Amino acid sequence: MVKSLNIEEKIKIINEVGEEVINLEELRELFLNKKNPIAYDGFEPSGNIHIAQGLLRAINVNKLTSTGIKFKFWVADWFGLLNNKMGGDLEKIKIVGEYFIEVWKACGMDLENVEFIWASDFIKEHPEYWETVLKLSMNATINRVLRCGQIMGREENTNNPSSQIIYPLMQAADIHHLGADIAQLGMDQRKVNMLARDLFPKLGFKPPVIISHHMLMGLSEPKVDGSLNSIDRKIEIKMSKSKPDTAIFMTDSEDEVKRKFKKAYCPEGQIEDNPILEYFKYIIFEKFDKIIITRDEKFGGNLSFNSYNELEKVFVEKKVHPLDVKMTCAVYINELLEPVRKHFDENKKAKKLLEAVRSFQVTR
């Protein structure tokens, strides 16, 4: 029998997921009054899915559903169209959405407590959605909405398409129409979630609790504008499919994963801005109770670790070489990706979807 968690135990788990929670008191009240709060996340189907969207997303969803939270995944196909994903071809976008869902099936996401809702179908069935978008637009300044432009992967620019204004307002409307108590997205979505919190009371809606999860770094050395604030900096260095050599994709081959990790940035003794240590902290030690770094006896023999903190301590003391850490990371990530590879190799539907996605020319 699964142990029943008290509210503080639930909060502890949520704090493991949330790099920022706005706010804890509202979250406590939510759990006090509702056994199964509704959390929502939305994803644009666009090309391949990397481990930040795949493995890390499944880990975070499973932690949250263990507290009683039910998840609504918004398959944002119309949003992908607004953002010109897959060249603006809605049929291709829908195929990519199906592919994403197959990845999550294969990597162990708790699908019993997850519902996938397609934006295009839902909005067609709920025309009142557009009234909410209009009311939100009447209460938000153009400048405030444009500041949310990062959710589309765009800079604030007067030459951007007008969809950049529609998109954040629609995303805020999603929260209300899905009946979401919690907006559970990455830190890069914080601005639009705060927009919803600020505007909802003006429309008589209850503002959502925001749980913003950590964004995994890409594998390359971060080179960013030093004037950026901490959140914008995290957005700038996050894993991106637009830089395929710095991202690990869920259907990468074993050799491809090893190749990418071998050339990855991993400065000796440095924790900050070290993507390899991030993958150990946020993925590997979430899935494995113990990891072993295999080394030749002349280099000190094998090392075993029961926690991320143990590994970090040894790494900071420079008692383990970065290459050993990188290649060990590759071993464990490959082990987690193997069920996904197998699913897409053996399941006819999944195999066909992957072949289709690989055949599409991804424009962004």
pLDDT tens digits in sequence order for the chain, 364 residues long: 446 899 999 999 999 999 999 999 999 999 999 999 999 999 999 888 999 999 999 999 999 999 999 999 999 999 999 888 888 899 999 999 999 999 999 999 999 999 999 999 999 999 999 999 999 999 999 989 988 865 445 455 556 778 788 999 999 999 999 999 999 999 999 999 999 999 999 999 999 999 999 999 999 998 866 667 777 777 777 888 878 889 999 999 999 999 999 999 999 999 999 999 999 999 999 999 999 999 888 888 999 999 999 999 999 999 999 999 999 999 999 999 999 999 999 999 999 999 999 998 544 4
Helix (H) or strand (E) holding 213: strand 209-213
Cα–Cα dist 233/228, whole Å:
6
Q: How far apart are CA 279 and CA 225, in angstroms?
A: 24
Domain segments of the chain as ranges: 7-213, 230-359
Residue 284 exposed, middle or buried by CB count within 10 Å (0-12, 13-18, 19+): buried
Enumerate residues 6+ apart whose C-beta is below 8 A from 137. 145, 165, 169
Do the domains 230-359 and 7-213 match in fold?
no
Q: What pTM did the predictor assign?
A: 0.91
> 7-213 has which CATH code?
3.40.50.620
Name the CATH topology of 230-359: Tyrosyl-Transfer RNA Synthetase (1.10.240)
CA nearest 130: which of 177, 93, 96? 177
203: left (phi over 0), alpha (psi -120 to 50) or beta: alpha
Q: Where are the beta strands (DSSP E) in 99-144?
A: 114-118
